Structure 1
């Protein structure tokens, strides 16, 4: 069985640095602890090197597979120990107190020394626990390290792709398919052919066909190659692949364009082959198809074969990576089959050339086609597999919908695996994380980014913030056609994404192999760790009928880092047994919700209760010192406890209708604030909001605002909100004023007015004073006077601002 170590190597790589940070902090380390931490740091560094080597193994032996699992569990437990250490030994000393230590009096220093002595005494039980845990962890590290030294990875390492050397290459179907049997290809073929052969410049033109694995790129390019090939004196078609032998690719190309080429001694030298090809093509009009290109570096070598001789030569490239596709002058993105074409192709493959589906299989065939998601490779693979058997209806359904263990679909799985294997370790981890969500689930980007950060999947780097890094990861996964964009924001950034069902099925298999996520359906009364301790639990409660299911025993998921419930709260484990939980996500869940034990989740960083039936937060929620995101929008919570002001690390506060406590400006880490109720004195509240120096994004929902001249208005003074970059306002009346000097860094402004824009209203004033504004969105539910009002807005907005109306 293949090792899915991509999700592991990134974490093992980060742990030595995390341990180093622990050594540099001013903790009162127990005797021997500092030496143990240094020992862990050195051993894990060596283990990471071994883990990276394991990624190159195609067929590891059972011992190696077991060793990888042990390293994974060990890394998780060491990281949990590091994160809990400060809470159990530091005795609650605040970051502010620690920072101010250098500016206190001698008397205060003596007082603190006494208090710390008392704290050390009162934390003796915790310190004994720490010592015991360290002894156990050190024993495990030694054992795992000794096992690694007994293994020899070198003889097992084989050339990339050799494991599947005997597997059927699905591209052969595309290369030699009968054109008459193809479905849904006529329009795309003619479109790409016109793009390739379009009259105009006679210079060299490169056209890229880009799309998800199995979307028919090779089939489409081959059909275009056949259709227009007669117009070119020289033609060649070569396949490159992930780890190409450049000399072989160039030799194959030369043998097709030069009938006299017989390996004249230069077949092993890419430089000589390039020179020979370039000389041969110099005075000819040529057409070359380069299939399955994976990197711009490979193209950077191959492109020197092709002289631009102004004879109208053409190159067609196929790739699944958008950045690689951009090497072409023109890019065509493949589309998935629509329902009619998908049905035609599936019925032909499954039930013969006439394509007639037996009546008793119509409903299950519809389910299978939905799972294929319009992906030609999936439709052809599953249809051919079903056609090869005589199946009852139940067997037809089981084989067609449950692909994980079906050996006849290895070719399709291998196609997806190539894209996965090409990812760096950090992106493998982030992709596997998406298996937490159900099939065809639309994932909000902000939610995903904050969850990744909360679980430590995004490492700190110089320059960009962790959120920027996470968004870049999403963009790269989309660019590699492993994740599909769903919705865009008005500034062109991604708002949500979705995973194609075939890829979703693949990453679920990989997650289960690597014990990355435990998926539990509502029908299950229990959860079993399987290959190890459960670290992430996703409860896929799909309907109201699942409400009566037994609750999962928290003891079996006591080491879980994240709990996600979909649709219903039934089955959610008791919180008081989840000591290392980082993420609790119950968004949109129906049913009763018990938060007993919430304030004991000392490592909790992400708490999403939006859309639940919760009506009150625990008064001591301020004990969650690590909390970074708190989301209670669309709940019955009327007021946030004053203790939230103690949440020193809270970055995203999404309060909904809940009233905020006074003193919100004390929250110095706050980046995002969303609230519906600004109180009876909104002018004072806005002034307080303006003093939050860290605030980058503000969302306000308000009906009654401050008064000025008898008119309701939202007013932004010139002395606040110095760091705000995004502002969203939802008001009943269109009365918003920006004072001179207000919001100097604001780049995006969204305004929504329930009663519309009218010529009589005071409207929006001061927008021209927002010097950094790039995007302005005005959403009016009524069109009365909107055109005139927008015309006025356009007159005052500076030229570099894009104005959007909806």
Structure 2
């Protein structure tokens, strides 16, 4: 129930500030209204003080819970009213003089009705606030006695050290090898029977929730999927939707077709019926061996519908199913099937999983060492640790880095090993059997992986927040006690829910709010970290604290949810930060239920049944837009919705769009049916702070966008928008403008109006037009008389480049396309880059499209961008700028493949903080004759092979080579000593000799173009050629056509 506390206290805190601001402004209000506002402000301040005390209590009785709900609801209604006042009366004339006097009188007359309505609303809200306050004392809600014995909930963490960058987000699953070996035979049998049988084969994995069925199935899917011609995975659910599943299968199979082009034959697929989708599947799978994974089927009827939709008598189809119910599994395997009863983890594997998670938790080396000693046995006998993990015993090893990779440290730490061991003896001396304490805790988890990782995350969190002098057993005992109530030795699905409940209750109130917000997203979604954080900020969940920016606080919250294992990283960016995350089905089911109970988020068309909201809807998430969902939305009270998210389709909202008058967050990513007429209605939602139109088919932004004066985030990436209207210059609060399509080299024209948004921190996907654009790729599908850009005068280009220097708050600038600039314009652009780099700029990306800016201007900079953390230079770059060695803080570097030479690598090896290095050349540029000529010349100048030198690259963990044609690259002994991951994406490659010289290499990722001659053979040939024991080789295929 602390969600109520968190949501209530945050709502009140935000509102008190707004009311104070409202009182400070000299609006012409009806007499007595200002006194009412002051009364409401004072009452809410008192409520906030009470809520702050309540946040520190561990639990609340029903009276207190109900009262906090009332506080939250009245706070939201008051805030709605305040925002309405600011919008409707926010343009009152200011100044003196006769003309201004006349304007004021006219304003007074024309707003009389509005002010009377506002006065009546504020009067009603005053009465409600007074009633809520009276109830607190009338029913004894303010009596907090008896809560002192409850566990104290800590504040949300903001003083944690940011986790070190990671490359491999998904660790190898623990305890599935036996099952993999057993079920691997089923896949191998499929290969043997391919020629003899055309019948579908079935594998059904069953067991209750949290057991790891999906983990096992996905590991099988990854390991054996490349043996099939095509594969796809879908998620079923409690609320079964056959059309959605068939649509997903068709889309996935389409993406794997060689030569799938921009002329998409799936246009209008959202309107296809069951018959059309089945027909398309039959066509796609004709004469192909396919693999389909269907996760979490709840009923026999659902299975029969899916099975009937998959074609019969094809070359050979294999279907893997996971379900919680044995009856469903039996139905799946009635013919030509294999049944597998998935069991809980054995005690040894449970312990190994628990230790793997907790060992990587501490923020400092001492805690890492101490806990490593406890779990390994005693300081004098570290050999008791189970095998499978590396044991670091040298004082010279880096304990912080080792801990970040899940390595147990059992020896001396830092410069004072004696002190570390002494602390370990003190901590382990509190119990005769420290391992037994951990094992007793694990017994309550019953071998369920989900329960183990969540409990381990809870223990790890307490380790991070505790003091180094506190015995480790105290943390284990504290968690053990919290889990003891009502848990049986052998957990069921209900038991897992109780574990989640305890871990949820341990969260600070602010983190509860942020966690429950994740129920917005559909089951199985891979969600962008940046998207989530920007939405948290837009919702007002994050405030500045402890000297950190609002973005840094949000990052802390996200990292805490990751470290507690309530969400898991799926993909990491090349800078080592989490790129996308996913939430386990059972955790999502839990928070969806919580959100529904508290009227925090209303989900329509989701995977689980939720009751119709009895309160005003505050946040609405629409997962499906069929007729049933449309009717459900139309019956809701929508005038108080603050946040609206629609996935894939906008249909359910067509008839009620004008009801969303106080909307602050609107996310329509991938809603292809959004029309320009509806976009004009959206531009009347004057309180919008966050607007995402990403991956919609919008081609033009209406001029009314300039009326959204509170807009802070505007995402139009992967749309057909090439230019913004002049009115955007009035969006003074805009902090993130995200545009363009990097993979297809489309950009948004940089205009002088954009440079008027002086609050901008991120400006991504821009194109700067020159006076000549000949030879450049097009901007959008629609070409103009001048080709790439609309014609630009010499004066307008000069003005844009001069005005660019005004954006001194910019932290990220991405220029996807440059037209051919005059010499004077190149000087202006270079000057702007130098100036912005001396201010706040940390990320710079420039693609000059082989126009010569990089080679002729940027390389000769007299004031290079030395303070950047990320630099991307793509295009005509034959030689790396010499000044690059002065960038001592550079962590991520991307260069055109044309600069890949032995002397380039020797120069870059001197960069002390470089974490990620990429050389790339997209398919379109590879057709440029000069680019191929440069690549050939570089190779010949290096003796026919480019060598990676020994020494240097002290922190480099990731090397990527992305181009249709990869030159021969050889690693000499001692090269890149810390490199962990090597990524190669190509159509043709000559091999990569010397991989055995990469001492730290853990993973090689190969992506072969679908245009490669005999792509499958090419993948296997290179994989076999570079296969060696330590690294894992992952082989995939990419569609080159979609990237041109």
* Same-fold status (TM-score > 0.5): yes
Q: Which has the higher mean CA deviation after the structures are superposed, 578-587 or 499-508?
A: 499-508
Distance, in Å, in 1 between the alignment partners of 2:827 and 2:350 is 56
What displacement does 1:623 show?
0.7
Distance, in Å, in 1 between the alignment partners of 2:825 and 2:121 is 67
> Which residue number corresponds to residue 129 of structure 1?
117
For the pair 1:431 / 2:515, whether they are aligned, the reply is: yes
> Which residue number corresponds to residue 786 of structure 1?
900
CA, structure 1 residues 714+48, in 2 after alignment: closer, same or farther (shift >3 Å)?
closer
For the pair 1:482 / 2:572, whether they are aligned, the reply is: no
For the pair 1:562 / 2:643, whether they are aligned, the reply is: yes
Structural mapping, 1:401-800, within 5 Å: 409-461=493-545, 463-521=547-605, 530-541=613-624, 552-553=633-634, 556-572=637-653, 574-593=656-675, 594-656=678-740, 657-681=747-771, 685-702=800-817, 704-706=819-821, 715=830, 720-721=835-836, 722-733=839-850, 736=854, 737-738=857-858, 739-743=861-865, 745-753=867-875, 761-765=877-881, 767-768=883-884, 771=887, 773-778=889-894, 780=896, 786-788=900-902, 790-791=904-905, 793-794=907-908, 799-800=912-913
Instruction: Give CA-to-partner distance per residue, 1:111-133, whole Å, 9 cap, x none.
Output: 44543343233222221121011
What displacement does 1:550 show?
5.3
CA, structure 1 residues 186+701, in 2 after alignment: closer, same or farther (shift >3 Å)?
same
**If the length of structure 2 is used for normalisation, what is the TM-score?**
0.52
Distance, in Å, in 2 between the alignment partners of 1:479 and 1:121 is 58
**If the length of structure 1 is used for normalisation, what is the TM-score?**
0.65
- Check the 8 A contact 1:707/1:713 in 2, yes or no: no
Distance, in Å, in 2 between the alignment partners of 1:582 and 1:195 is 38
Distance, in Å, in 2 between the alignment partners of 1:607 and 1:493 is 24
CA, structure 1 residues 46+496, in 2 after alignment: closer, same or farther (shift >3 Å)?
same
Instruction: Give CA-to-partner distance per residue, 1:234-270, whole Å, 9 cap, x none.
Output: xxxxxxxxxxxxxxxxxxxxxxxxxxxxxxxxxxxxx
> Which residue number corresponds to residue 183 of structure 1?
345
What displacement does 1:485 show?
2.3
> Which residue number corresponds to residue 84 of structure 1?
84
Distance, in Å, in 1 between the alignment partners of 2:87 and 2:104 is 14
> Which residue number corresponds to residue 60 of structure 1?
61
What displacement does 1:643 show?
0.4
- Check the 8 A contact 1:665/1:692 in 2, yes or no: yes
CA, structure 1 residues 742+723, in 2 after alignment: closer, same or farther (shift >3 Å)?
farther
Q: Which has the higher mean CA deviation after the structures are superposed, 588-597 or 423-432?
A: 588-597
What displacement does 1:60 show?
2.9
What displacement does 1:712 show?
13
- Check the 8 A contact 2:649/2:672 in 1, yes or no: yes
CA, structure 1 residues 185+713, in 2 after alignment: closer, same or farther (shift >3 Å)?
farther
Distance, in Å, in 1 between the alignment partners of 2:868 and 2:54 is 48
Gaps of 5+ in 2: 153-209, 211-342, 359-365, 387-424, 442-454, 473-483, 741-746, 772-796, 919-959, 961-1044
Instruction: Give CA-to-partner distance per residue, 1:62-107, whole Å, 9 cap, x none.
Output: x5544333222111111112222222112267xxxx8xx7xxxxxx
Distance, in Å, in 2 between the alignment partners of 1:293 and 1:188 is 12
Distance, in Å, in 2 between the alignment partners of 1:221 and 1:9 is 45
Instruction: Give CA-to-partner distance per residue, 1:549-592, whole Å, 9 cap, x none.
Output: 55833972111001101122221253322111001101122223
CA, structure 1 residues 68+677, in 2 after alignment: closer, same or farther (shift >3 Å)?
same
1:750 partner SS: strand
Q: Which has the higher mean CA deviation after the structures are superposed, 731-740 or 615-624?
A: 731-740
Instruction: Give CA-to-partner distance per residue, 1:603-624, whole Å, 9 cap, x none.
Output: 1111100101122222121111
CA, structure 1 residues 588+41, in 2 after alignment: closer, same or farther (shift >3 Å)?
same
Instruction: Give CA-to-partner distance per residue, 1:345-364, whole Å, 9 cap, x none.
Output: xxxxxxxxxxxxxxxxxxxx
CA, structure 1 residues 632+191, in 2 after alignment: closer, same or farther (shift >3 Å)?
closer
> Which residue number corresponds to residue 130 of structure 2?
142
CA, structure 1 residues 679+67, in 2 after alignment: closer, same or farther (shift >3 Å)?
same
Distance, in Å, in 1 between the alignment partners of 2:692 and 2:669 is 6
2:863 partner SS: coil
What displacement does 1:10 show?
2.4
> Which residue number corresponds to residue 45 of structure 1?
45
CA, structure 1 residues 571+710, in 2 after alignment: closer, same or farther (shift >3 Å)?
closer
Instruction: Give CA-to-partner distance per residue, 1:175-216, whole Å, 9 cap, x none.
Output: xxxxxx8635546757999999xxxxxx99966489xxxxxx
Distance, in Å, in 2 between the alignment partners of 1:749 and 1:794 is 13
CA, structure 1 residues 679+798, in 2 after alignment: closer, same or farther (shift >3 Å)?
same
- Check the 8 A contact 2:357/2:457 in 1, yes or no: no
Gaps of 5+ in 1: 102-107, 163-169, 171-180, 197-202, 211-216, 231-276, 295-316, 333-376, 386-408
Q: Which has the higher mean CA deviation after the structures are superposed, 640-649 or 730-739?
A: 730-739
Distance, in Å, in 2 between the alignment partners of 1:26 and 1:504 is 47
CA, structure 1 residues 120+456, in 2 after alignment: closer, same or farther (shift >3 Å)?
farther
RMSD of aligned C-alpha atoms? 4.8
Instruction: Give CA-to-partner distance per residue, 1:674-726, whole Å, 9 cap, x none.
Output: 13432235676444323322222111211634366999998455653233121
CA, structure 1 residues 590+599, in 2 after alignment: closer, same or farther (shift >3 Å)?
closer
CA, structure 1 residues 691+521, in 2 after alignment: closer, same or farther (shift >3 Å)?
same
- Check the 8 A contact 2:710/2:731 in 1, yes or no: yes
- Check the 8 A contact 1:292/1:319 in 2, yes or no: no
Distance, in Å, in 1 between the alignment partners of 2:828 and 2:878 is 9
CA, structure 1 residues 752+328, in 2 after alignment: closer, same or farther (shift >3 Å)?
farther
- Check the 8 A contact 2:749/2:768 in 1, yes or no: yes
- Check the 8 A contact 1:2/1:60 in 2, yes or no: no
Instruction: Give CA-to-partner distance per residue, 1:279-326, whole Å, 9 cap, x none.
Output: 9969x99756554999xxxxxxxxxxxxxxxxxxxxxx9662545446
2:83 partner SS: helix
What displacement does 1:443 show?
1.8
What displacement does 1:533 show?
0.4
Between the two proteins, the alignment pairs up a number of residues equal to 612
CA, structure 1 residues 3+619, in 2 after alignment: closer, same or farther (shift >3 Å)?
closer
CA, structure 1 residues 122+588, in 2 after alignment: closer, same or farther (shift >3 Å)?
same
CA, structure 1 residues 26+720, in 2 after alignment: closer, same or farther (shift >3 Å)?
farther
Instruction: Give CA-to-partner distance per residue, 1:629-651, whole Å, 9 cap, x none.
Output: 11111112232111011111111
Structural mapping, 1:281-430, within 5 Å: 287=434, 289-291=436-438, 320-322=458-460, 324-325=462-463, 409-430=493-514
Distance, in Å, in 1 between the alignment partners of 2:629 and 2:10 is 40
Instruction: Give CA-to-partner distance per residue, 1:514-549, whole Å, 9 cap, x none.
Output: 10000000899x99862310000000028xx77995
Instruction: Give CA-to-partner distance per residue, 1:122-151, whole Å, 9 cap, x none.
Output: 222221121011011112112222222211
